[in-house]
Structures are given as structure tokens and as C-alpha cells.
């Protein structure tokens, strides 16, 4: 016998129950994307290498999956480059395409390529696989699904507020309470850097600040000292990291502390503007978080990050922010953007852990029709066709196996109903319908059996 | 300015209108798959090369996309093999993974790998991309979507009848009339080959027969003569290819002609058995087609092929058949299967050509809310949040552009409604709602605006 087959490390097979759960989350996200005016697009799995290389830094280039040129073209392999250990050059000599590494760069390419076919401001969503040759570990895979929504071609606090509403709507739909939507603003961080007397060291201080949760204020101060921040700067920072209370109050305190920093004042005013459009929501799950500094190399305005409920020990389940000039990479300038993204795998893990999947997801079939012989099945067939036309999911057991085996199948399929039609039922002109949950069986006249039997 | 970006040949970007149409077809197919008891699975885009190579013949190996090993691993390139023009060996030295070439082999691998987790008979459906390095042409792409349903672990005429019902149900749902479902049976073809005195030349005669539509009976006879079939054989073939009329009548004629051929008689009896389960359908679109001989190297029983309505000049839009021992490739024997597949791209082309897409697909947004200033948008926001929560797809125009520009956007978005709330409306405590189809505008009290406004 051949060796038991397997799949590449970091990839996954999804069994029916997995697909049901993932589809539930994806469809919930898509539905909300559409309610917020986002339209779906799809891009090819393979992009030209030239479109992707150099767009994700050195790490991205290293983790990209390259697709070999097909057929005779591999003959052009640059063996000299290989001998000189110039692996990038060697790769380029035998590969012109790479697998999508994220959805953002292909989206930028798409906007530039199709700019004359799009209706701006253009809100698009995209739910597709991406591939990264990362070392696999819990929750990290080499093929995974991203769920992104972006708007390009307009800058407005309404759009930024709607991203917050959209996060909230998705979590509400998933019955996921206590996810925290954290916001910050790039300009506030820049203002603070200047306030601390280190305008060009925003990264140093945000990297330290980001660890506040883990190492506490003392730890952050130690790290900043090592990086050369003086006592004066640390004294200034103390009240900033002590901010607490309602979001509006935090912004008030921040504004009074940073009143001499025009950039920070601008960022605070902008967040207030955004909040005015969010206020109809119960914003108890919305927090200002000064330590939030993700994507500082591309976010230029508001920054979002969503944390799962505290009892689930997992990283962020959503993120996003405002960025400028994304499409400049492909030659189209001044196309500003704002985007958010849901982490599908982590979101699924959170729902699993909190047992939030609807129980009905386990029922992929409504009724299993047991098989007592050809003639019985033939008599039932017109009914079965009618039920299916009305939306009932019917599994007709295909062969006359022993009843025990058929019932075992019905049990394992989680179908709520099993239908019996054999000699006894034929005589009495009835069907027997067994409720697989409570075990009760009822006999129903064959003249009155319609699809509503199974949808109750 | 950089060069306008593009995508690899044979791949496609899907704009929102494309995605809407494709999703409509895919969702229709999935819905019917589920009503027939099929459960969804997904497999990784990349399989180990060892799982795929050699499974699709020489052509398949040639057209497979190989994924380059990442990082340092390309150093293991077998330069000697390259120098000796052993391209397969060279490829294997730098690549261990390939992109999915179809959904059938990965399904076989899946069944073997997960055999202890599955509930047999196992009906699965799978709608995923596959990749082939084929020369692109009209309707043929390097990345395309397959929609497959297969059942393994049971052999039954009910299953075969249900495949016909399923084809019919999908086309009915798509409002696609006059698609013809053609069936044939491998055993009938084998019986005829024996009847013609050439039991080992089934391929020769089916290849010629397949051209009946194009070159007529005379052409077929010429070709068979060249291939060495005698006058006697051709005389025997004449009444067979003249078969016409209702499917049952054709089978009667066939049976009387082939009564000495046990294999053919068995095949005919099997088709009759299948037809008994199909008869509740109006089977006017079901035809027996002796010339149908697809996949003879793997189909072992019934064979299906679906032709689009005659006025559309396109090849088959669906196909399938019974096969034996698919999973033997991966070491699991006696797992018989039956499968059908829908050609998504061709199906979309047929619907496009016959103008069968529902008009509502063009409406991705229900209402565009025009923007006359922050204060108006803030007052509307609680209503907008409420509408969205009820399922209305709302596009809030993000900035106060000139009305003309905003209306242009609303027009191009195909939204059925545009909503105005500015100074005049604020005073009168109304909104103005413009029907974008007939141009009529009504004023509605702001106290009575709810989601039902947009769903009528």
C-alpha cells in the first residue's frame, strides 16, 4: 500500500464542518461590507513578480512564493548567478510570477490598471487567499484568507467613523461581545515625539510604548533610558501613559498636555470629528490607545486595532488605518486610502473558544431518507424532488444497507430528521418521520407531506 | 510615471459587476449541491508535487505550475540535470509543491488522508480555483474555477439519477432553458466495439463517432474505413447512428440490435434503471447520445455531458460520470465514485449571451446618501446605522462635492435610490428621496423613515 498522502506544511484541508464555520464568518463579514457600500473585487492568485517584489521590504521578498516558468523556459536558468549565491537573480531567471502576498498591493495595482472603469470614491472589499513562506505555528499558515475593505479616492471623517461602525456591526452579528476597538492617530504620536524632544525618534519611543501592557511603565522607562531619552522626556511622558477613563476625557487631557504641539492638536481634533459620527453607537467598546502604533511605516492618519475579549489570549482580530499614496507605487499619485482588515483565522479561533458558532451550522442536511428498496424510493422520488425545489437539503441513502448502518449514518450526519418509507408505510400510505433530537417518531399521511415538514 | 501595471497572461481581474455575476452562478450551484446532500470541503492551493505528478498524463505534467522552494533551498538546484536537458529532474530539485491542477486528484488524496473522519457514503462539493499553464484563448484561462460534486463509497442508480436531477435543478434555477443533458454508458460503447468485431478498438471508433455532428455519417464511415473497419462493421453501425426519438425508444432499438452483446445489454439495463428515478422530471431535455465518449480512460459506467442551448455556439457546460478506484492512486482500493462538474466560465458566457442575469445584480447599493455638510450627515447617522442593521446597503457620499458630481456617482452606482438631506429638508423635517429609475422625488417626514423605504 502506498504511503498515506499528506499536504505541504503550513497548509490545511477544510472538512465540511470547518467550511461551514469559515463560511459563516466570511458571509457575515461580506454582508456587513456590502451594507457599508463596499463592492467585491477579485484579483489573480499569481501576480507578475515585478508587481510584488520590493513592496513588502526584505522580509516580504524572502517569504514570497515564486512560481516557476513553465515548460522550456526554465532552460534560461542563470546558473552563474546561482554559483555566485545571487539567489534573487537566479530566481528571477526562472520565475516571472509570484503568489499574492497580501490583498493591498494587488488592490493598488488593480486601481491603477482599471482607474477608467471605476466609480470614485471606490469602496472595494476582497476576501481571498494569500501565501507566505513563513515558518508555520499555531494560528499561522502558509496559505490563509484575508478579508479587506478599503476606500480610495476620498478623505473624510465619515469614512473613518464608518470603519468603526463596521467593526462593531461585524462583531455584533457574530454575537462577539467585549471585543475592543482601539484607535490612535499618527499625528498624535508625531506630536508626542516632538514634545519629548525627539521628533525623529518616533519609532524608538512607540516600540517601547507598545510594551506597556507587558512590562509596565517602569519597564518602558528603562527601555527609553537605554535608548537615550532623558529624565525630562520621561517626566513628560508620565501623565500621557497614565491616561484613562472615557475616550472624550482622555482626549481632553491629551489636548491640554500637548497644546503646544500643532500636529498632536490636529490629530486630536480629527479623532473628535470622527467620534461625532460614531456617537450613535454604544461606544463602550471603543477606546483610545496611545500605545497603538501599528504600521507606522505606512499609516498616515487614524490607526485601528481590534482586540478579542480579554479572556481569549490571542492577538488582534482586526486592524486598519489611513494611508496616503498607495497607488503611487504603480504610478498614480494622490490617491488616498483608508482600509480595514479582519483576521479570519484568529476570528474563527475566538468564536470556537467562546462557543459562539450557531448550533445550526452542524446541520448540513435536513433529512436523511432511509432506503428500503427501489420501489419505495421510486414512489418517494417525486416528493423528494419537490422538497428539494423548496430548499430542503435531502440526503437519500443510496443503497439498502442494514437499518442500523443507515441510522448510524443519519446520526453522524447531524440531520434533524430521518424518514422511513418501507413496506409497512406503503400499506398504510404514510411516511414515518423520526425526530433525531428527541427520538419521537410520527406517521404522516403521504398525501400531506410537503417541504414544511422539515422546516419547523 | 511608471509603466501601467498588468497581470500575467491568462489570468483575470474581476470587477464588482463580474464578481456579482460569478457569485450569482456559484451560489446557485452551491445551493443545489447542498439540496442534494453534498457537503463542502476545501483543499490547499498547493499540493505536494508527488501527489500530482503523473496523475494527469504527460500533458498534465507539462502544464502544471510548480512553486519554487523558498529561501536557501533553491541552492540545491540540480545544474547537471539542467545541462543534460532533464527539465523534469531540474524542476524537482528546486520545487516540491505544485498548484492544484483539478479538484479530483486532491479530492482523492483528501478521502484517503481523512478516511477515518468522514461519514460514508461521502458526498462532497468543492468550488475552488485550479491552475494550468495552457495557452490562453477565448474561454480558456490559466486560473479558473471548477465546481465539482462527487460521491464516493456507494454505487447506486439513485445517485446517478440524482446527478441528472441536479443538472436540471441548476439550469432551472438559472432560468437556462433548452440545455441538453446527454447520457451514455461505457458498457454500451464496449458492447458496440465487440459487435463491430473490434473489441480492443473502442477508442478508434469513438473518436470517429464523436465527429458525427461535424462531418456527418459519410465522414465518420470514411474515417473508420481508413482505420481498417470493414464494410460489414460499417453496415452494422448504420442503424446505430441513425437512432432517434424519445430516449426509451432509442434504448429499445439499441437493445434489439445489440441483444447478443452482454456488456451492452447490461449498460442499457442500467440506464433504464437510472431513468426510472428520473421520470418525475420533465425529461424533454434529457437525451441518449451514443457519440458521447468523454473521459473513456477513466469513466467506467454512466457518462454525462451537458450542451448549452443550440443558439449559443459553445462547448459543454457540464460533464461527469462514474469512475472506479479513484483513490487507488493513494493506496485506498475499492472506493468507487461518481462525479459531475459545472464549467463556470462557459456557464457565465452562456448566461451573458442569453441575457439571463437578474437585473438586480447590477444594484450593489440600495441608496446613495448625498452629502450637504457635516451637520446634516451627523443628524442622519443614527438612521443610517439603523437601516444598515436592517440589511439596507447604504453608500454615504463622503465629501461635499458639487451636487452634479455626487449625482453622477449615484447614477453610475446603479443605486435605485438617492437620498437628499440638506438645509431645506432640515427646516421641514423631511428627507427627499429620489427614485433613480423614474426620476420621481418624494418628501418623507424624518420621523417615519425606516429601512422599508428602500426595500419596496
Report pLDDT digits (tens) over B202-254.
888 888 888 888 898 899 999 999 988 999 999 999 999 888 888 999 999 99
How large is the average pLDDT for residues A268-281? 90
Q: Is A338 on the interface with B (CB under 8 A)?
A: no
Residue A127: strand pairing partners: A147
Distance between CA atoms of residues B45 and B42, nearest Å: 9
Q: Which of residues 107-126 of A touch B (CB under 8 A)?
A: 109-110, 112-114, 117-121, 123-124
Q: How far is CA B98 from CA A166, B50, B66, in A?
A: 38, 9, 4
Buried b / exposed e across A229-255, counting CB within 10 Å, b at 16+? Answer: beeebbebbeebeebeeebeebbeebb
Domain B363-454 top-level CATH class? alpha beta
Q: Which residues contact B285 (CB under 8 A, 6 or more apart)?
A: B168, B171, B178, B179, B180, B181
Pick from A250-254, A358-362, B196-200: least confident? B196-200
Distance between CA atoms of residues A362 and A298, nearest Å: 42
Cβ-contact A174, A356 below 8 angstroms: yes
Cell of A10: 503550513
pLDDT at B280: 67
Cβ-contact A170, A139 below 8 angstroms: no
pLDDT at B232: 92
Q: How confident is the model at residue A13 (pLDDT cuts 50, 70, 90)?
A: very high
**DSSP 8-state secondary structure symbol assigned to residue A367:** E
pLDDT beyond 80 at B2: no
Q: Is A19 on the interface with B (CB under 8 A)?
A: yes
- The DSSP element (H or E) to which B432 belongs, if any, is strand B430-435
Q: How confident is the model at residue A347 (pLDDT cuts 50, 70, 90)?
A: very high
DSSP reduced 3-state for A407: helix
The third-level CATH classification (topology) of the domain covering B16-353 is BirA Bifunctional Protein; domain 2 (3.30.930)
Phi and psi (nearest 5°) for B147?
Answer: -125, 100
Q: Find the residue in B nearest to A383 (Cα).
A: B280
Instruction: Give pLDDT tens digits for A72-127.
Output: 899 999 999 999 999 999 999 999 999 999 999 999 999 999 999 999 999 999 99
pLDDT at B82: 94
Give the residue extent of every domain in chain B. 16-353, 363-454
Buried b / exposed e across B353-385, counting CB within 10 Å, b at 16+? Answer: ebeebeeeeebbbbbbbbbbeeebbeebbebbb
Q: For chains A and B, count residue pairs whose Cβ atoms are closer than 8 Å.
A: 313
Q: How far is CA B123 from CA A116, A153, A364, A385, B27, in A?
A: 45, 46, 11, 18, 18
- What stretches of B261-316 show up as alpha helix (H) in DSSP? 262-278
pLDDT beyond 50 at B1: no
* ipTM for the predicted complex: 0.95
Q: Is A13 on the interface with B (CB under 8 A)?
A: yes
How large is the average pLDDT for residues A283-289? 85
Most confident of A52-56, A325-329, B150-154: B150-154
Buried b / exposed e across B132-165, counting CB within 10 Å, b at 16+? Answer: bbeeeeeeebbbbbbbbbbbbbbbbbbbbbbbbb
pLDDT at A337: 94
Distance between CA atoms of residues A271 and A301, nearest Å: 10
Cβ-contact B294, B321 below 8 angstroms: yes
Cell 465540511 belongs to residue? A16
Q: What is the DSSP string of B74-120?
A: GGG--HHHHHTT-HHHHHHHHEEEEE---SHHHHHHHHHHTTTTS-S
Q: Find the residue in B nearest to A376 (Cα).
A: B277
How large is the average pLDDT for residues A263-272? 97
Distance between CA atoms of residues B301 and B274, nearest Å: 12
pLDDT beyond 60 at B55: yes
Name the residue among A145, A79, A149 with its Cα closest to residue A121: A149
| Contact criterion met (CB < 8 Å) for B35 and A156 | no
Instruction: Tell me what percent of the residues of chain B surpass a pLDDT of 90.
Output: 83
Q: How confident is the model at residue A280 (pLDDT cuts 50, 70, 90)?
A: low
Cell 463592492 belongs to residue? A39
How large is the average pLDDT for residues A52-61? 90
Instruction: Give pLDDT tens digits for A129-164.
Output: 999 999 998 888 999 999 999 999 999 999 999 999
Q: How confident is the model at residue A1 (pLDDT cuts 50, 70, 90)?
A: very low
Residue A419: strand pairing partners: A369, A433
Averaged confidence pLDDT in chain B: 94
Residues in chain B within 8 Å Cβ distance of A51: 5, 7
pLDDT beyond 90 at B264: yes
Query: Cβ of A425: how many Cβ atoms within 10 Å?
Result: 20
Distance between CA atoms of residues B37 and B22, nearest Å: 23
Distance, in angstroms, between A365 CA and closest chain B CA? Answer: 6
| Contact criterion met (CB < 8 Å) for A16 and B124 | yes
Amino acid at each position: 500500500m502506498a504511503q498515506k498522502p499528506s499536504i505541504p506544511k503550513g497548509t490545511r484541508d477544510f472538512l465540511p464542518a470547518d467550511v461551514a464555520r469559515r463560511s459563516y464568518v466570511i458571509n457575515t463579514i461580506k454582508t456587513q461590507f456590502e451594507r457599508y457600500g463596499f463592492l467585491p473585487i477579485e484579483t489573480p492568485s499569481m501576480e507578475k513578480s515585478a508587481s510584488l517584489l520590493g513592496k513588502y521590504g526584505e522580509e516580504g521578498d524572502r517569504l514570497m512564493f515564486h512560481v516557476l516558468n513553465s515548460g522550456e523556459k526554465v532552460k534560461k536558468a542563470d546558473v552563474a548567478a546561482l554559483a555566485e549565491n545571487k539567489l534573487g537573480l537566479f530566481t528571477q531567471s526562472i520565475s516571472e510570477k509570484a503568489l499574492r502576498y497580501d490583498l493591498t498591493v494587488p488592490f493598488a495595482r488593480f486601481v491603477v490598471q482599471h482607474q477608467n472603469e471605476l466609480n470614485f470614491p471606490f469602496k472595494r472589499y476582497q476576501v481571498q487567499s494569500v501565501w507566505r513562506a513563513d515558518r508555520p505555528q499555531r494560528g499561522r499558515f502558509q496559505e490563509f484568507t484575508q478579508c479587506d475593505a478599503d476606500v480610495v479616492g476620498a478623505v473624510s471623517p465619515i469614512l473613518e467613523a464608518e470603519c468603526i461602525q463596521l467593526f462593531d456591526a461585524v462583531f455584533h452579528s457574530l454575537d462577539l461581545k467585549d471585543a475592543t476597538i482601539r484607535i490612535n492617530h499618527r499625528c498624535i504620536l508625531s506630536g508626542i515625539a516632538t514634545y519629548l524632544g525627539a521628533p525623529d525618534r518616533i519609532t524608538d519611543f512607540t516600540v517601547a510604548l507598545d510594551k506597556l501592557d507587558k512590562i509596565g511603565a517602569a519597564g518602558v522607562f528603562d527601555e527609553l533610558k537605554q535608548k537615550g531619552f532623558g529624565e525630562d522626556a520621561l517626566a513628560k511622558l508620565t501623565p500621557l501613559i497614565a491616561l484613562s477613563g472615557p475616550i472624550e476625557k482622555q482626549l481632553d487631557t491629551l489636548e491640554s498636555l500637548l497644546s503646544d504641539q500643532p500636529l498632536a492638536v490636529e490629530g486630536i481634533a480629527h479623532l473628535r470629528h470622527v467620534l461625532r459620527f460614531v456617537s450613535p453607537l454604544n461606544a463602550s467598546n471603543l477606546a483610545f490607545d496611545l500605545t497603538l502604533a501599528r504600521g507606522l511605516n505606512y499609516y498616515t492618519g487614524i490607526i485601528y486595532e481590534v482586540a478579542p475579549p480579554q479572556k481569549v489570549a490571542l492577538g488582534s482580530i482586526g486592524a486598519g488605518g489611513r494611508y496616503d499614496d498607495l497607488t503611487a507605487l504603480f504610478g498614480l499619485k494622490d490617491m488616498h486610502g483608508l482600509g480595514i482588515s479582519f483576521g479570519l483565522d484568529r476570528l474563527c479561533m475566538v468564536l470556537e473558544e467562546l462557543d459562539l458558532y450557531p448550533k445550526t451550522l452542524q446541520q448540513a442536511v435536513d433529512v436523511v431518507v432511509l432506503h428500503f428498496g427501489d420501489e419505495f424510493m421510486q414512489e418517494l422520488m417525486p416528493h423528494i424532488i419537490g422538497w428539494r425545489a423548496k430548499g430542503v437539503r435531502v440526503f437519500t441513502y443510496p443503497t439498502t444497507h442494514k437499518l442500523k448502518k443507515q441510522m448510524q449514518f443519519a446520526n453522524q450526519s447531524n440531520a434533524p430528521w430521518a424518514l422511513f418509507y418501507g413496506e409497512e408505510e406503503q400499506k398504510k400510505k404514510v411516511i414515518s418521520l423520526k425526530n433525531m433530537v428527541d427520538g419521537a417518531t410520527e406517521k404522516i399521511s403521504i398525501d400531506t407531506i410537503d417541504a414544511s415538514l422539515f422546516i419547523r
